[in-house]
Structure 1
């Protein structure tokens, strides 16, 4: 693991999850603004569009750097996919909130039934396979939740530790520079003061617990 360094980048792009609107990231954006950052929200069609439709627009936003990224759930997989495809994008640090970077058991359960598979739309393949071990230029950290409240636990075996939608184990991608588990559900991560403080610390110092 490389030694963390202080970063003075102030721009942060916030990216939502599969069924959530961009406004779901507004609470986090307000906390980052209070901490001295310059947040902006990015919207994409999670289920309807899928990666093929979403990644070009995301890459275009990320070119307006240097920037950090705070991404929830599928947004984290989208971000790493964009950075893997275009490693020259000026992204310094990425914090993923409850992103199933190693693949999603809940998505696997949904995909097995025709009446629920449609909910994943064109993002199903990315959610099922996850991301390869991270070897990109940007530093990446994950904040996972351990409060199991969410519908995902009814569709997949999430094991003993999860946020109700994503298993903690599904967030532990090889190549991360930091990882933390906090008492929050999958949606609760979006409104966690602890998660906001950790994200700000990581953007500044490269550690979730500065």
Structure 2
């Protein structure tokens, strides 16, 4: 898949893509910032400068988290973002609210861009809805809007191991929590499927290899 061309005013053109070494890591639902440390260490060993963004994925509001992402990025240098699951949605919502943020590329890991079927099923029951916290609405709806001038790539998993299979029925390939079809939207710069579960995407060496390729070139390895 050919990467989407960027306009002359993009952060990539302002700084030069190869010079961008800052990476903001955004974790997913039920995850503490600590969950991103393995990924951060591997990015650092590859010469990047990762920083982990933490937020309250259950008790905190989506708006507060999105605003905090915006504040973190707004006055910094051109930056790449890597978001796991809900973290990818938070990053895209931040760019929707403020398209001028200096973000060059966004690598999503198992992010349900089309909305999460598991979240939709859980929302039918008041008790299980509590497990989604205040992020339930964003998880149900997803974010099919992609920011102009920013390349967005998706690493999806195909290992069907996860808690999602206990509450929802999947049709086709899934990672135990997110279905493959939920990770595809028109306009993605690239999309790749690897052998990893939803949570396993955080520690998979293949996931890191693909993220590094995308951050460096805007395309995944084949």
Question: TM-score band, normalised by the shorter chain?
Answer: over 0.9
DSSP 3-state at the match of 1:84: helix
Deviations 1:113-136 (A, max 9, x none): 111101111111100011133242
Deviations 1:9-33 (A, max 9, x none): 0000000001000110000001101
How far the C-alpha of 1:195 sits from its partner, in A, is 0.7
How many positions carry a matched residue from both structures?
A: 210
* Comparing 89-98 and 46-55, the one that deviates more: 46-55
5 Å-filtered alignment, 1:83-122, equals 83-122=95-134
* Residue in structure 2 matched with residue 139 of structure 1 by the alignment: 151
* Residue in structure 1 matched with residue 82 of structure 2 by the alignment: 70
What TM-score comes out, normalization by structure 2 length?
0.90
5 Å-filtered alignment, 1:1-210, equals 1=2, 2=4, 7-63=18-74, 64-209=76-221
CA RMSD after TM alignment: 1.5
DSSP 3-state at the match of 2:137: helix
What TM-score comes out, normalization by structure 1 length?
0.95
DSSP 3-state at the match of 1:12: strand
Q: List alignment gaps of at least 5 residues for structure 2.
A: 7-11
- For the Cα contact (< 8 Å) 1:84–1:136, is it kept in 2? no
Between the aligned partners of 2:20 and 2:113, the Cα distance in structure 1 is 25
Q: List alignment gaps of at least 5 residues for structure 1.
A: none
